[in-house]
């Protein structure tokens, strides 16, 4: 079995995992309503950014850095999209998502943002080290923390953000065979929005109270008919169950020792967030994978959420 198989297999049933977790006395604290504790200080957006910057700089090379090649099979639209296809990657980190997408389709240009300028610089260095000029030319990084501010107007200006008559995305769907955007169709004031927006292990780092506005901002950056491609931590993932009670900072939200935070999603929460923002749900499911820890030989049960959401044409 290749690398793709271990990511796409349904190795266990999520409902069976839920029953086991919810009946385990040692895990009951994960299920309780969150009671704020005075010992847990509130953390600013700047502190969150600094924590993730340190994380990516610490793990930007060696065995930790792995290209997420499985995304091309999870989201085949990224392979089949036509010339001048624009992707906005939100929370690009060290480039582990952008690199396989750029390799997989030479028609794609990626506009990649992150809340850390140091992380963006490291992502640029990693892509430069690949030594393929066309990849570097199609990678357009910029600073933006979408959890606290809007995307820049050159991406989608105030007029275009609410304009549903913009050109349709440049990928082919059964309903719009042969639809293709060209540079001549672009708005004169901005790039006219993007065909795809990726949220790959990004939204979980945003505090829950800031998620609705952040998702709405993603909605506004997409062209009508554009797709938001989502993958993130799912409820009762092994990582969640390893957090101690003192690491809870909100319900289903935890802080690591390095200061980075993570929320663990159930399907209903995600559905409500995206539908409320205006999206149409196309796909939404748990991805349940068993992997082997080579150091101790133990099996690990990983739970991720896979989703595809579309901005309506009108």
Domain layout of the chain by residue ranges: 50-160+188-311
Which positions ≥6 away from 12 have C-beta within 8 Å? Answer: 288, 290, 301
Average pLDDT over residues 152-164: 78
Q: With contact defined as beta carbons under 8 Å apart, do 274 and 307 qualify?
A: yes
Decide which of 61 and 311 is more confident. 311
The pLDDT, as a whole number, for residue 60 is 56
- Read off the pLDDT of residues 221-261 as tens digits, 9 standing for 90 and up: 999 999 999 999 999 999 999 999 999 999 999 998 877 88
Q: What pLDDT score was predicted for residue 189? A: 80
Q: What is the pLDDT of residue 132?
A: 77
Segment 80-114, tens digit of pLDDT: 988 889 999 999 988 889 999 999 999 999 999 99
Euclidean distance between CA atoms 83 and 239, whole angstroms: 39
Distance in angstroms (rounded) separating the CA atoms of residues 99 and 141: 12
Share of the chain above pLDDT 70, in %: 79
Domain covering 50-160+188-311 in this structure, CATH number: 3.40.50.150
How many CB atoms within 10 Å of residue 236? 23
Separation of alpha carbons 273 and 67, rounded Å: 28
What is the per-residue pLDDT for 119? 84
pLDDT at residue 138 in the model: 93
Residue-level pLDDT at 19: 97
> Each residue of 24-34: pLDDT tens digit?
999 999 999 98
CA-based nearest residue to 80, from 1, 176, 10, 213: 176
Higher pLDDT, 64 or 156: 156
C-alpha span between 189 and 195 (Å, rounded): 17
Q: Are strands 139-143 and 280-292 parallel, antiparallel or unpaired?
A: unpaired
Question: Mean pLDDT over all residues of the chain?
Answer: 83
Highest mean pLDDT among 167-171, 186-190, 281-285: 281-285
* pLDDT band (50, 70, 90) for residue 183: very low
What is the rounded CA–CA span in Å between residue 135 and residue 137? 5
Measured distance CA(219)–CA(228) in Å, rounded = 8
**Considering the entire predicted model, what is its pTM?**
0.84
């Amino acid at each position: 079995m290749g690398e793709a198989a271990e990511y796409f297999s349904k190795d266990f049933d999520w409902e069976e995992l839920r029953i086991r977790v919810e009946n385990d006395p040692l895990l009951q604290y994960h299920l309780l309503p969150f009671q704020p504790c005075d010992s847990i200080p509130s953390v600013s957006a700047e502190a969150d950014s600094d924590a993730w910057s340190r994380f990516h700089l610490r793990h930007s090379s060696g065995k930790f850095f792995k290209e997420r090649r499985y995304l091309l099979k999870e989201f085949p639209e990224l392979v089949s999209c036509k010339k001048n296809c624009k992707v906005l990657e939100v929370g690009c980190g060290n480039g582990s998502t952008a690199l396989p997408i750029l390799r997989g389709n030479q028609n794609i240009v990626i506009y990649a943002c992150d809340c850390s300028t140091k992380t963006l610089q490291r992502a640029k260095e990693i892509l430069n080290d690949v030594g393929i000029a066309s990849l570097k030319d199609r990678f357009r990084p910029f600073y933006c923390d979408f959890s606290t501010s809007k995307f820049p107007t050159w991406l989608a200006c105030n007029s275009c953000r609410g304009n549903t008559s913009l050109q349709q995305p440049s990928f082919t769907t059964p309903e719009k065979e042969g639809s293709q955007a060209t540079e001549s169709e672009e708005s004169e004031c901005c790039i006219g929005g993007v065909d795809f927006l990726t949220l790959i292990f990004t939204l979980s780092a945003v505090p829950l109270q800031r998620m609705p506005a952040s998702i709405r901002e993603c909605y506004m950056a997409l062209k009508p008919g554009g797709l938001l491609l989502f993958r993130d931590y799912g409820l009762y993932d092994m990582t969640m169950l390893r957090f101690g009670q003192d690491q809870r900072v909100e319900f289903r939200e935890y802080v690591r020792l390095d200061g980075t935070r993570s929320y663990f999603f159930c399907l209903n929460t995600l559905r409500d967030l995206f539908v409320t923002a205006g999206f149409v749900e196309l796909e939404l499911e748990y991805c349940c994978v068993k992997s082997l820890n080579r150091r101790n030989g133990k099996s690990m049960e990983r739970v991720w959420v896979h989703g595809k959401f579309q901005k309506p044409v009108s």
